[in-house]
Amino acid sequence: MFKKIASAGNYLNISLVLLSLSLTSFAVDSDKDQEIIARVTSNIFAKDHYRQHLLNDEMSEQLFYEYFKTLDPAHLYFTQEDMKVFGKYKLELDNMLLDGDVTFAFEVYNYLLKRVEDCRKEAEAILKSRLDFNTDEYYTIDRSKEKWPADIKEQKELWRLKIKNDILVFRLMERAEKEAAEEEKQKNSKDETKKDLKEPVAKWNKGTPEERVMKRFNNNIRYLKENDPMDVLELYLSALANVYDPHSAYMSPKTVEDFNIQMKLSLVGIGATLTLEDGYTKIINIVPGGPADLDGRLKPEDRIIAVAQEDAETVDVIDMPLTKVVNMIRGKKDTIVRLTILKGDKGVNAIPEVISIRRDTVKLTEQEAKGEIRKIKMDDGTEKKIGVLTLPSFYFDFEGAASGLENFKSSTNDVRKILVGFNKDKVDGLVLDMRSNGGGSLFEAISLTGLFIRQGPVVQVRTPKGAVEVKNDPDRNICYDGPMVVLVNRLSASAAEIFAGAIQDYGRGIIIGDTHTHGKGTVQTIYDLDNFLRHYGLKTPSGSVRITTAKFYRINGESTQDKGVCPDIIFPSFTDCMEIGEEYLDHALPWDTINPVKFESFGDMKKNIPALSEKSLKRRQNENAFKILGTNIERFSKMKEKKAISLNEEKRWELYKEEKKISEQQYALMRLETSNPEDLSKEDKDAEKDAMAKALKKKKQPDLFLDETAKILCDYIGVLSAKDKPEAAAAVSK
């Protein structure tokens, strides 16, 4: 139910009659320690955050609504009447926080407990009635941008529609499972070796749809009551942090402990970065080399709605706190976790499906740079040797470097070794694949850029006071000076954007990918609050503050924040249809510019872009796989525009069948190069389909974008004259 965990407090202990009557017998309250933490944290944000924005009435009003949104992101539990009741606090929260008064946070949280309990009781009554799934009613799935219901009457109608949709989802899931089981049974009946196999039983889906929905409501109220005062404080102070920017937060001692464990990569799980959005656990990113990445089925934007251990009963996780979901997904190595998910590429029409993933340790070696050489045939029949270098993240072994190890692990050291090998093999060009590279060490982004340029500025860093520091590559040596392209997408962020931006500014290579990269151009610093509060005599640890303290700028003066890096050549992409990137985050810092710095350009590469882009477009227009991809992207884009979904069961079932039929076309994107599908018998086609599925799971499926990128590079090599080859020019760009 919560996007993040954050704050709590104490305020004017004025008891409104309405409020006192509405609170449940269970209540959470603050103590002196939390009041001190709130006061100090508020001052840190006001003084040290990049925005340099003191707490005032404007910030108070933003915090007022942000906290309600944090507690009720789907706008289900509070009403506009509630907002009026609490409205007296709207312009007072700034003064209250600076005084350490967080009464508002706890009053609103306790009121939420009452509202959720009301909803649970309403659900019991609704489930006892006969719901009609033949009527044409509609429910808006994503309610984050919808208004809160006006009053209790409107709220109860909203609850009825939500409960009806929740039940319908499970009814459709049961139908889909039965259909799949019947198809498997018929398939096995034709196979003599499988005739005696028992019909598969979905042990992880126990209970009727009504029972599962009711259990979800009971769990939700239980989770809320399990939150202690520090959890509530975390919710409130993180709401304050989010008003400054989405990457700042207050972290309670429990969250700090989890954060430190994740940083050490010492946990066993599935290798996925998760967030909580509108009550759903959503996949943000798949960790390269992790179990989910190697399995290949879980994707960014997928939502996890239930988790089961091995063959145990499933546990619904909608509205469950993110920390609890994460702990359920973690487990012992080589054990199975079953995830019930809603596929992100199915939009509002998604029907839950179950995938099983074997837990394992996320190996650092799987995130290291890797290289291979591909032979690409040119239009004239000649072949070009293209070095493909994949870099999933920017990493640096601080312990190895500090101990004086000569060959300590780092992205720059590993890439340098690969490039030396490419040079020995005399590759004609280089593709540097940075798709889904979420960043990492800033030092590594600078030193890696230095492998491709001769000494110069790489990035500018601006502080809250306006001071600008230019980060330079001091090494005049170039490890690779041939033609190169960098492949990115919307999941390429932070350090990856610094590198791509520098390569583009220098004219050193062509950037190819989505319409733009992620747009994460800010720097965060973590403050241990115990260092600030040691003289206050607190009884317990106070947690930490993650605060944005600087901003990145390219050497051309443009920020990478919000807009990211715009590629020279753009590919069609599903992620361009998804809300991925800084531009979709509330209170994100804006894009802006500062003065550029002087640097040596490698010449005017832009003049070749139009011809290369046009040639690539013609090639893609004539390739069947890209045609199917384009059709599916267009269909997905239209599907994402739909906000309301039918509550008519047969209409929903027909939508599911249609989506299932269309999704089978995706196999065309995994074509094997062995034969023409039109010439295959049905048995051969089934065998081919199985082979493609196995190839998908082994991560050996054809990569349309990488293949086309290599062809674009070959085109670029073909048009380069001796004088155009990217060698450092004397021209100075300002």
| Residue 86: other Cβ atoms inside 10 A | 18
Rounded CA separation 125/183 (Å): 38
Query: Which amino acid is residue 406, in one-letter code?
Result: E
Beta strands in 141-267 (DSSP E): 249-251
The answer to whether 154 and 79 are in contact (CB under 8 A) is yes
Q: Which of 519, 630, 633, 517 is nearest to 574 (CA)?
A: 633
Residue 453 DSSP class: S
Rounded CA separation 666/625 (Å): 9
Indicate which residue of 316, 505, 576, 715 is catalytic: 505
| Strand, coil or helix: 387 | strand
The answer to whether 32 and 542 are in contact (CB under 8 A) is no
Rounded CA separation 644/334 (Å): 41
**Pairing mode of beta strands 249-251, 544-553:** antiparallel
The b/e string for 210-247 (b: 16+ C-beta within 10 A; e otherwise) is bebbbebbebbbebbeebebbbbbbbbbbbbbbbbbbb
Q: Is 494 an annotated catalytic residue?
A: yes
Indicate which residue of 384, 520, 551, 640 is catalytic: 520
Indicate which residue of 494, 542, 544, 559 is catalytic: 494
| Strand, coil or helix: 157 | helix
Rounded CA separation 214/226 (Å): 19
Q: Is 311 an annotated catalytic residue?
A: no
202 φ, ψ to 5°? -85, 85
Two tokens, residue 123 = 């659900």
| Residue 452: other Cβ atoms inside 10 A | 26
- Residue 388 host element (H or E): strand 383-390
**What DSSP string describes 520-556?**
--EEEEEEEHHHHHGGGT-SS---EEEEEEEEEE-TT
Q: Is 441 an annotated catalytic residue?
A: no
Angle of helix 229-244 relative to helix 32-48, nearest 10 degrees, comes to: 10
The answer to whether 216 and 163 are in contact (CB under 8 A) is no
Residue with tokens 């994503």: 142
**What DSSP string describes 555-624?**
TTSBB-TTT----SEE---SGGGS--SGGGSTTPPPP-B-----EE-----GGGHHHHHHHHHHHHHT-H
- Catalytic positions: 494, 505, 520
